Amino acid sequence: MERQLETYQKIERSIIKKFRKQLWTPFIVAVKRYELIQAGDKIAVCISGGKDSMLMAKLLQELQRHSEVPFELVYLVMDPGYNEINRQKIESNAALLHIPITVFETNIFDVANNSDKSPCYLCARMRRGHLYKKAQELGCNKIALGHHFNDVIETTVMSMFYGSQLQAMPPKLHSTNFPGMTLIRPMYCIREDDIIAWRRYNELEFIQCACRFTEACTICDNGGGGSKRQEVKVLLRRLMRDNPNIENSIFRSIHAVSLDTMPGYKSEGVEHSFLERFDRVEEELKTKKASPEGEAVREAD
């Protein structure tokens, strides 16, 4: 007689079995391709309570169980000032999924709400800082965020359309304010539609928008109901009607940037012009022309 599985075990099995191609495989691809996890890492899995971060927690939990590479996980939940319903939902989902969360509280929503600056921008910056700080206090050397494939391509399009720059979202980066800390994005290759399909299949309900400024919205994405990100989502859906491969093309393009064709680029905070290389190549060509090899070429011509 087959043993009856508990709810959390059925959810775990769905990741490995039914959604293996859509979730587990691209997760493993990202971890290996971008070298996100090394032996001895202690990773703070940052959980906001939404579908993305909750799935990321289960993926990393499953990897830790089966990986030959030893690493530690801390499931970190920062409460920036959630209302009682959202806080309770996060805790109940964590219990349902058997995710042993560590919760710490901040007053980020209060500070952002009383600021003259953009509350969303300030909130995002403060969240990241608090997460890094708490993770470091707990002895972690990495924090993991739940950004997925669609976040990556939407950010790329947004930066070009609204930020006047070609800028992507890297799969990992060093923290400049917290030396020794690294941010990783293990869901870099997982599509949002597949995350939604997994959530529906398991009949899970996660908080959608915990932000105090947009709690009433029904279509927000991390504070984005009617946002620029939402506009880009809609635009990409329209473009996919004529070109179903457009998302893949955008994703591949950020892995194949041809700097030689760019009139300008920025590296490590320093702006560069194509003229730097242009002038250097011109000097190299003059030198080559004046060399014995260049003389031989001219005689052959």
The pLDDT profile of the chain, 301 residues, written as one tens digit per residue, is 457 899 999 999 999 999 999 999 999 999 999 999 999 999 999 999 999 999 999 999 999 999 999 999 999 999 988 889 999 999 999 999 999 999 999 888 877 777 766 777 777 788 889 999 999 999 999 999 999 999 999 999 999 999 999 999 999 999 999 999 999 999 999 999 999 999 999 999 999 766 655 443 333 444 344 588 899 999 999 999 999 999 999 999 999 999 889 999 898 889 999 998 888 887 888 787 666 655 554 555 5
Chain centroid offset of residue 269 CA: 21
pLDDT at 215: 45
Q: In this structure, how many other beta carbons lie within 10 angstroms of the beta carbon of residue 255?
A: 8
pTM given for the model:
0.86
pLDDT at 223: 38
Alpha carbon distance 204, 105 (integer Å):
25
pLDDT at 217: 38
Show Cβ contacts of residue 35 under 8 Å, excluding neighbours closer than 6 positions. 172
77 neighbors 103 (Cβ within 8 angstroms): yes
Alpha carbon distance 63, 121 (integer Å):
33
pLDDT at 261: 92
pLDDT at 143: 98
Alpha carbon distance 143, 75 (integer Å):
10
Q: In this structure, how many other beta carbons lie within 10 angstroms of the beta carbon of residue 29?
A: 13
